[in-house]
Structure 1
Amino acid sequence: MKKILVTGASGWLGAEIVKTLVARGDAVIATDIVVGPALHALASRHREQVTPVAADLCEWPQVLRLFSEHHPDAVVHAAAIVGVMQCAEIPLKANRVNVEGSINLFEAMRLSGAKRVVHVSTEETYGDFLTAVVDEEHPQKPVSVYGATKLAVEHFGRAYSHDHGLECINVRTCWVYGPHLPRLRVPRTFVEAALRGEAHHLDDGADLAVDQVYIADTVAGILLALDKENHRYESYNVATGVAPTIADVAEAVNRAIPGARISVGSRGPYRHGGAVLSATKGALDITRARTELGYEPKYDLQRGIEATIEETRKVIGEQR
């Protein structure tokens, strides 16, 4: 049984990583700035496997204590302020949490002797896609605060790998979606409106093509990177390899829910939160993840949307 430290363990993606690790038999040190009730409940059901620890990665003594008390074999680093709009609104805090918190993590690993960390990164590090499909060698020129912070983490990981022998592996995701997505963005906004029986129209952005990856596929790719014995590469695209448009997402919801009335206008570009201009997107080339990790996405857009709808219906039913 391996002991894995998961940062951001109360977050949407972090919690799914913890549950998947537990299901396969690993021990997990699950840490977040606040340990939420769902994580406490999971820990109570799996006392021998899950140790929840409240810790702020921006506070060096707390990070050092994580390693000195729990001695993890490896780390999955999912803690971050996530999202273009969120980071644009609080750039200083985004830098402190995403960058300074990661440096504290790498430094604690150096001192403790832990070697491998899988950093959950993003396609935002590429900035504007120069081609319709981009691989890991695409220039990294982020145009968002979020992308800039995540690229900085990648670079610090490279420095710690070079200077101290850490193995910092970057998994670059794209637009991850699925049940209980905590941010009000596509496709959550489409799904919830359709399930309420409401028409929903997004004024702009119909033509934005972007790789959208279901959360279970994202977690699978992260754990494949965690498990691989020897890495030839330090970065992997984990997505679907195709890029549906925002209009395609709306149609997927309309197909899945009879009577749904979801539409998107194409008058202007897509803006995150209706305010922050999106970078030019496309698909992520997942050839490297396929050949090196054995990664294969199981959810195309339609299946992922249908799975999201099924779980969202359950939540709506419980609320009623």
Structure 2
Amino acid sequence: MHPTVTLDNGVVMPALGFGVFQTPPKVTAQAVETALQAGYRLVDTAASYGNERGVGDAIRGSGIPREELFVETKVWINDYGYDETLHAFDKSTRKLGIEHIDLFILHQPLPTAFDRTVGAYRALEQLLGDGRVRAIGVSNFMPDHLAALLERAEVIPAVNQVEVHPYFTQPAVQAANAEHGILTQAWSPIGGITAYRGDQTRSTFTDPGIVGIAEQHGKTAAQVMLRWHLQQGRSAIPKSVRPERIVENFDVFDFELTHEELAAIDALDTGVRGGPDPAAVTLATFSRVIPED
């Protein structure tokens, strides 16, 4: 059995999923099909990725019963607001070709228009209450954003999806999540974002400490990083379009890291973010209209 995590509302979710961030729409269906064949059952996408339709095509073509799959997608900031987010749900389900979404989350906190963020989250709560989604959550919420949301929310988010990899571990965010029973889900879990943002002189894939641990276990650096996430109780959603990498990233269930190895990876944290600062994400700088079809 592949590991699962139980969300705060009792919903069981695969711990390791397949992400499609920056996967071109034309190749998304093939990548997801490969992932499903390899054994993945959690697929993470987003309205802003422009590839929900490809994810849906792969799901329908897989032959896997819908109840065995866990589909996660995100609302983009242009669709924040109560009515707008209800409509965003309709757009996403139409593109995905499914009637319900397993995990529906807000993509950014949008602190410069937080009333709209709260309105969007209230729509998620409504969708949850109506049974159209099985769990709701947020993404890229820092502790202050989370605290502000919880002051006005009725349902605690089940998940907070944030950038976490050995070079950026966000301990304060993880602690805030844990305090409220919120699962930390790692995007860029193997530090792929460090390849084109942040410190260009370092790479998690060639880090001597990670490579050394990998050699001890007969695994790759990527596999060691994913194992690090799973053993520390996080969900992780690695992405790739290369079939061999997709398969490799799922082959992480037959070894275990020691406490010393986990601590050594923790110690690699640089505190340097690879993705955009959530506080800097505004409608003025990150506007993207999500099409109806």
Normalised-by-shorter TM-score class: 0.3 to 0.5
The structure number with the bigger radius of gyration is: 1
